């Protein structure tokens, strides 16, 4: 839920009796105060679209605990709203208007006021109101704040003239950026961060009489006007009124070019004058002021010309507009020069403050104002999971990011922002984008070419919305499926992960970076360096997490062979950025114990940059430096000195930049380290072509969610399906069969796409465009009857398909033991039991990791691991109905019980339900001949090894695997499972003869 501000229903508001104000004396003609909420219980605790009060926060720990409590000292009535909080990210509460009721008209009043029980903590408390739009989620947000610097009850009065337009969490471009007050949807309070506290509030009401300066506002069409040397900027000044009525009284706007870094008369022709909008002027009327930049022969950085506006009779613009004469003639601006020379020239000109800004990344929703981009020389912004524009469309994303890039043009060197998102399986924050299977499904395809195609589709859709940087792919090697991030991994075998790194070329193009300027490529990020997939169960100290962000305990050899090797591949493929892990690394025998990865200079500087030769830049994870032991200054210097180049400080961008500057001035971070970091960042900005084209190139926007892109996702969904059991050849289905479909995940696109879809955690239901598995089966021409809970009669059907599994989660929220396990829900178990007890049945598990179905395996005829297939349920239907063959293989070992975890290929003791690499096929003839055929295939594989004929070698191993699987299908034992799994690892490492030898071993043991 957006941190928004909504109100009570119109019927309730008008039904309440006016209350006497305890504030300043009212004027004789002031309207009576109108109550909004007296907190006596007339407004319930509820969520939109219903009328009510609700808390919110950045994670599960941050929403405040709210209650309506009786207080003898209540300023009004008997009860007040109370709450306690301990917020690390952001948190607060909202009073929402029921969206089914009309909005409120507050335009007759001067402002809003309420009683606050002061704690004297000197913290600022943000208060916001919502104006206009069709409903609360499509309205403009206007904000102000007050300081809790008092003790006991105090009435806080806020004139509406004190509210300023928020530049984030808005309908893109706003509705009219005028506080109209005729359609109000409520209010919200944002509580202080970093202090454990409590609050009490009472009697929110409207007070006073509105004046002309509130009803009329003067606006400009932009805050920044870049202009080339010798060009002319046109600044449009408009007057607008509440309800779009003509103005009652004249409005004058005196203007003058004054201040700034440009020199009047030398760099521009000064302007001064006055514009008058006479009484009766229609709302929306505009006038234009022209500012002419002069031409000289000198090379210069950008120069600013503030246009001071003095408004009489209306509210002035929130910001002073600035004309910016573009930088020109400097070497770093010359695209013909080599990138390294451009970087060196620019770095040599920058101040420490500008360099520190380049090393700072803020969450776009945390900006105090868009002007902070220039004020603090910010180098980067990001959208965290679910941080989206309103409306969440491709055009809105592009417009939002262009507005941020425009602000960067007001800096001295006009260094463009690099904007980043977690597009981890398609442009997953954008509604209507093409959502791919999560990485675990891509790993199941064993198809490097397809992995590259999925990356290319993702890059094209991301770049078409103006975003040049993707925090993907995750190169974690998942070693314990109790981990809530398991599905972000391609698999448990580093060889499999390395084979799927073709996705980097899909995202970035050529390894030398020459394609990064293209409108369908983005900078990729290898994450999370290093060992995030190997954390020990129970080692996490983050909230209620059990394994995510915990400690990875490994020998030096295990670190090298399992967790580090995928990063060398990424570096060789030209990866542009790397993100360290939240987790700690404990290398047994090195004497350091567990050390947070963000603090490990030996790994980031020593291994990644020096040994591996990584020449991109290192970006921290979300507020991750806060987890380094020590005070904030220590966190900053430790992380930067460890080799981090840019720090993701979503809400602390001002503090970080100031602290970094202080650390450099004190000599605790060297200027050389800063210059290296900034050079790495600028190199990628130049490679991306951002200096020449900072704004969104939306020529590819029509391809977002296009049939061609969805065809790639459909293929990936089909190839990711792993057929674990197929007794009696129940699959593929025939269109002539009557099919009974049941289960919680058959018709739920939210469950099918999983976490990191539209929002960080994802959610069930119709959250985006696509085709569910049920819809895909119907579109395939199947004779299908659906009963989600299997309550419909089961007689008369040829086969049942039960689609079960998990609901969405992300990161440690999904850890087993944190409210999760690997068991099916009671409802899913009941559906499986009923359907499989009545007919032949196929069970599909839609999940981010293996599900424990061993106790029901005997009653299930066919079992399919569907993973999280994305938006294209047609792909699942393609293999169910035989349009495509089942070809997927297990990217992780499928355990018999949770007590077996962790269990992985190569373990000395290995007794799984299904081994790593397992995957039956359909529509493919399995080789006959048994042991004799295996012997012949061994000769072929040996020859392939000698001659380097990899295609021949892979084909030989694949034939041998199918033959062995046919024999072992009903009798997997430790003696057969271990060599079978080992064979798949050997295949991925190009040792074909050894792989066939292992398969022969499994065959003979079966």
Residues tagged active-site: 621, 811
- Using CB atoms within 10 Å of the CB of residue 41, give its burial: 0 to 12 exposed, 13 to 18 middle, 19+ buried: exposed
CB 933 within 8 A of CB 927: yes
Query: Beta 216-220 vs 232-241: how paired, if at all?
Result: antiparallel
Cα(663)–Cα(669) distance, integer angstroms: 6
Closest of 587, 577, 662 to residue 621, by C-alpha: 577
State the greatest distance between any 2 C-alpha atoms of the chain, in Å, as a whole number.
Answer: 105
Q: How far apart are CA 511 and CA 529, in angstroms?
A: 20
Look up residue 498 and give its two tokens: 């390395």
163, 144 Cβ separation under 8 angstroms: yes
Identify each DSSP E strand in 561-608 by its residue range: 577-580, 584-587, 595-596
Which two tokens mark 356?
A: 């520190």
In 3D space, the residue among 778, 742, 761 whose CA is nearest the CA of residue 814 turns out to be 761
Query: Helix axis angle, 448-463 relative to 707-720, nearest 10°?
Result: 140
**Unique residue bearing structure tokens 């720090």:** 647
Nearest residue to 177 (alpha-carbon basis) of 122, 137, 219: 219
Cα gap 580→604, rounded to integer Å: 8
Rg (CA), the chain: 31
Contacts of 557 (CB under 8 A, 6+ apart): none
Which DSSP state fits 597?
Answer: G
If 0-12 CB within 10 Å is exposed, 13-18 middle and 19+ buried, where does residue 254 land?
middle
Q: Per the omega criterion (within 30 degrees of 0), is the bond before 380 cis?
A: no
**Matching residue, tokens 């500012």:** 291
**C-alpha dihedral over 151, 157, 161, 164, to 10 degrees?**
40
The token duo for 565 is 């090797």
| Dist. CA 37–CA 33, nearest whole Å | 12
Where in 756-878 does DSSP place strands (E)?
783-786, 799-805, 840-846, 862-867
Kind of pairing, strands 360-363 and 647-648?
A: parallel
Q: What are the residues facing 648 on neighbouring strands?
A: 361
- Structure-token pair, residue 770: 């696509």
Q: Residue 146: enclosing H or E segment and its boundaries?
A: strand 140-148
The pairing of beta strand 799-805 with beta strand 525-529: unpaired
One DSSP character per residue, 740-771 reads EEESTTTT-HHHHH-SSBSBSS--SSS-SSSB
Q: Residues for the chain: how many in total?
A: 1006
Distance CA 417, CA 382 (A): 10
The SS3 call for residue 245 is coil
- CA–CA separation, 534 and 97 (whole Å): 47
| Element holding 988 (H helix, E strand) | helix 974-988
Of the candidates 1000, 1002, 1006, 890, the residue with the CA atom closest to the CA atom of residue 942: 1000
Pairing of strands 799-805, 840-846: parallel
Q: By the 8 A CB rule, do 200 and 94 touch?
A: no
């Amino acid at each position: 839920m957006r941190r928004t501000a909504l109100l009570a229903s119109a019927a309730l508001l008008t039904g309440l009796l006016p209350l006497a104000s305890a504030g300043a004396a009212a004027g004789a003609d002031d309207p009576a105060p109108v109550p909004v909420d007296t907190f006596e219980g007339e407004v319930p605790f509820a969520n939109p679209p219903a009328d009510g009060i609700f808390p919110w926060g950045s994670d599960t720990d941050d929403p405040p605990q709210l209650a309506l409590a009786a207080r003898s000292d209540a300023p009004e009535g008997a009860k007040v709203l109370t709450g306690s909080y301990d917020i690390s990210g952001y948190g607060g509460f909202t009073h929402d208007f029921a969206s089914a009721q009309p909005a409120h008209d507050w335009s007759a009043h001067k402002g809003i006021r309420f009683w606050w029980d002061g704690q004297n903590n000197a913290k600022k408390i943000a208060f916001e109101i919502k104006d206009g739009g069709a409903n609360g989620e499509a309205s403009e947000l206007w904000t102000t704040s007050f300081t809790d610097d008092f003790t006991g009850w105090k009435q806080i009065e806020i004139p509406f003239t004190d509210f300023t337009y928020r530049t984030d969490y808005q309908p893109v471009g706003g509705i009219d950026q005028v506080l109209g007050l005729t359609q109000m949807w409520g209010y919200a309070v944002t509580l202080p961060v970093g202090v454990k506290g409590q609050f009490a509030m009472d009697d929110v009401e409207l007070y006073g009489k509105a004046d002309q300066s509130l009803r009329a506002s003067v606006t400009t069409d932009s805050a920044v006007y870049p202009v080339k040397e010798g060009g002319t900027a046109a600044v449009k000044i408009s007057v607008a009124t509440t309800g779009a009525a003509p103005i009652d009284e004249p409005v004058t706007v005196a203007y003058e070019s004054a201040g700034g870094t440009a020199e009047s008369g030398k760099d521009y022709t000064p302007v001064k004058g006055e514009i008058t909008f006479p009484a009766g002027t229609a709302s929306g009327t505009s006038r234009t002021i022209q500012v002419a930049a002069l031409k000289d022969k000198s090379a210069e950085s950008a120069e600013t010309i503030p246009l001071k506006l003095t408004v009489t009779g209306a509210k002035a613009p929130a910001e002073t507009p600035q004309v910016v004469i573009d930088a020109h003639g400097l070497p770093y601006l010359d695209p013909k020069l080599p990138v390294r020379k451009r970087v060196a020239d620019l770095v040599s000109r920058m101040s420490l403050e500008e360099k520190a800004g380049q090393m700072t990344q803020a969450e776009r929703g945390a900006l105090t104002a868009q002007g902070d981009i220039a004020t603090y020389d910010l180098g980067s912004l990001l959208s965290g999971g679910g941080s989206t524009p309103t409306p969440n469309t491709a055009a809105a994303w592009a417009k939002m990011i262009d507005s941020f890039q425009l602000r960067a043009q007001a800096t001295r060197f006009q260094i463009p922002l690099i904007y980043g998102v977690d597009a981890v399986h398609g442009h997953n924050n954008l509604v209507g984008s093409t959502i791919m299977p999560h990485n675990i499904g891509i790993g199941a395809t064993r198809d490097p070419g397809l992995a590259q195609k999925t990356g290319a589709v993702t890059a094209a859709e991301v770049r078409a919305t103006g975003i040049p940087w993707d925090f993907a792919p995750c190169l974690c090697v998942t070693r314990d499926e109790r981990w809530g991030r398991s599905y972000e991994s391609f698999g448990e075998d580093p060889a499999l992960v390395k084979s799927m790194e073709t996705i980097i070329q899909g995202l970035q193009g050529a390894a030398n970076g020459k394609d990064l300027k293209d409108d369908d490529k983005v900078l990729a990020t290898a994450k999370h360096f290093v060992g995030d997939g190997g954390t020990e169960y129970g080692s996490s100290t983050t909230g209620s997490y059990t394994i995510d962000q915990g400690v990875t305990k490994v020998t030096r050899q295990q670190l090298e062979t399992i967790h580090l090797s995928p990063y060398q591949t990424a570096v060789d493929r030209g990866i542009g950025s790397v993100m360290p892990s939240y987790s700690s690394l404990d290398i047994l025998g090195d004497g350091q114990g567990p050390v947070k990865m963000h603090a490990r200079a030996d790994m980031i500087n020593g291994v990644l940059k020096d040994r591996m030769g990584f020449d991109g830049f290192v970006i921290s994870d979300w507020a991750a430096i806060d987890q380094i032991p020590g005070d904030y200054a220590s966190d900053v210097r430790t992380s930067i000195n460890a080799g981090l180049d840019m720090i993701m400080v979503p809400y602390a961008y001002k503090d970080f930049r100031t602290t970094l500057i202080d650390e450099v001035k004190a000599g605790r971070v060297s200027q050389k380290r800063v210059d290296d970091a900034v050079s790495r960042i600028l190199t990628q900005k130049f490679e991306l072509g951002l200096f020449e084209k900072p704004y969104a190139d939306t020529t590819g926007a029509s391809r977002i969610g296009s049939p061609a892109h969805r065809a790639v996702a459909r293929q990936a969904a089909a190839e990711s399906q792993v057929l674990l059991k197929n007794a009696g050849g129940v699959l593929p289905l025939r269109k002539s069969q009557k099919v009974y479909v049941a289960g919680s995940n058959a018709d739920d696109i939210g469950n099918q796409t999983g976490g990191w879809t539209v929002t960080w955690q994802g959610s069930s239901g119709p959250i985006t465009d696509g085709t569910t598995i049920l819809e895909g089966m119907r579109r395939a021409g199947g004779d299908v009857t659906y009963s989600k809970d299997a309550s419909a009669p089961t007689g008369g059907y040829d086969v049942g398909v039960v689609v079960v599994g998990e609901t969405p989660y992300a990161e440690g929220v999904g850890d087993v033991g944190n409210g999760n396990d690997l068991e099916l829900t009671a409802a899913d178990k009941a559906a499986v039991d009923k359907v499989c007890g009545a007919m032949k049945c196929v069970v599909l598990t839609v999940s981010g990791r293996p599900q424990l179905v061993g106790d029901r395996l005997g009653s299930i005829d066919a079992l399919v691991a569907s993973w999280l297939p994305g938006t294209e349920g047609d792909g699942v239907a393609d293999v169910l109905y035989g349009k495509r063959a089942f070809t997927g293989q297990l990217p992780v070992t499928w355990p018999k019980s949770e007590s077996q975890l962790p269990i992985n290929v190569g373990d000395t003791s290995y007794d799984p339900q299904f081994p790593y690499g397992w995957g039956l096929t359909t529509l493919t003839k399995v080789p006959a001949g048994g042991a004799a055929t295996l012997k012949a295939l061994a000769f072929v594989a040996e020859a392939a090894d000698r001659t380097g004929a990899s295609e021949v070698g892979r084909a030989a191993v694949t034939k041998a695997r199918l033959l062995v699987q046919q024999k072992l299908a009903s009798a997997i034992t430790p003696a057969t499972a271990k060599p079978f799994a080992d064979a798949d690892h050997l295949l991925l490492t190009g040792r074909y003869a050894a792989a066939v030898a292992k398969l022969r071993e499994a065959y003979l043991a079966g």
